[in-house]
Chains A and B, each alone.
Chain A
């Protein structure tokens, strides 16, 4: 009984997927050399796993799945190496964003912006997200990347980054406050 399977074709990987994989990895690790390494490791892992590839997912999706795992591994190793680390002090946020009663500080109150609906506007917002994310503090940035760009759940993120749940909520709360504020600032300038 023979099943028709799509065969992977490694000779075409570089021309078809290398740039796409790199452009995906780069904003998620913020370092071109690391992004290149991850793409390289992705190809090597894929070659090793070639026998297991049954053509169920498209070749492209299969490579992206491998790359996404490499990105998570990268964060796992990174936070192990950074010998934990600047857990933010949990009090400092109040004064930056909210007044003493916990209401919005005057200069941080969200303003109105028109929604980004068309492709050009959406692309513009995506660029702002990338730019603003680079200006988050390190752990906030890791949390933001894994949560929103990699669509991971908080439990998994805590394990990968080796942080407690309560630290996670502080970090993600702060990242959300900063990201919205930053995107708004540059979006309204345009």
Chain B
């Protein structure tokens, strides 16, 4: 019988809840009280997330974020700073136990395997997606998706974003640049290195269409069936607590 995983679509939430919920589901999974799960989500208000090892003050223009109503949060995964636009991107997370057949001891290999679900899904949409180590998915050599992974308590969390539309100018208004002089240069270089799936397909791709394609990609690549499900009360309560006790705190967000 085909293996069943839970599918969650938690819609639009703020950055702190989004990060808290990924951790809450991971903890529930590690305790054996949640199944392997794939979650789709988006960010409202828009937000910048930074990698675990990054410095908030060095990466993010906090004053610009405050002025524009953009949240900022530290992730529990490594990697770089990402601007999460409400309309411009879809985020997913995969939460799976570490002993699962999809998880290799080799982290680089696990990125390739888990990203293959996204690659296959994007190809369903006729995006010529390819995995590019360490943790990116590209099409025509341009980055369309960034991904980050952590392993804790025998559970793997991989989350990442798929660009539906891209706005390099806004991206560089909220991320720190070495100097004003290079801002335009950086915007140009991002335009050359990053693309959205709407750019590539030269049409507007809806969230619904994107999610449906990714579901097919995950199901066929991982040999699983995704069953739409709900959060448990445990996960909801824990996410609420983690949001208020961790992800909204200055101690966490400015710890490096």
A complexed with B: no
The residues of B with any CB-CB pair to A shorter than 8 Å are none
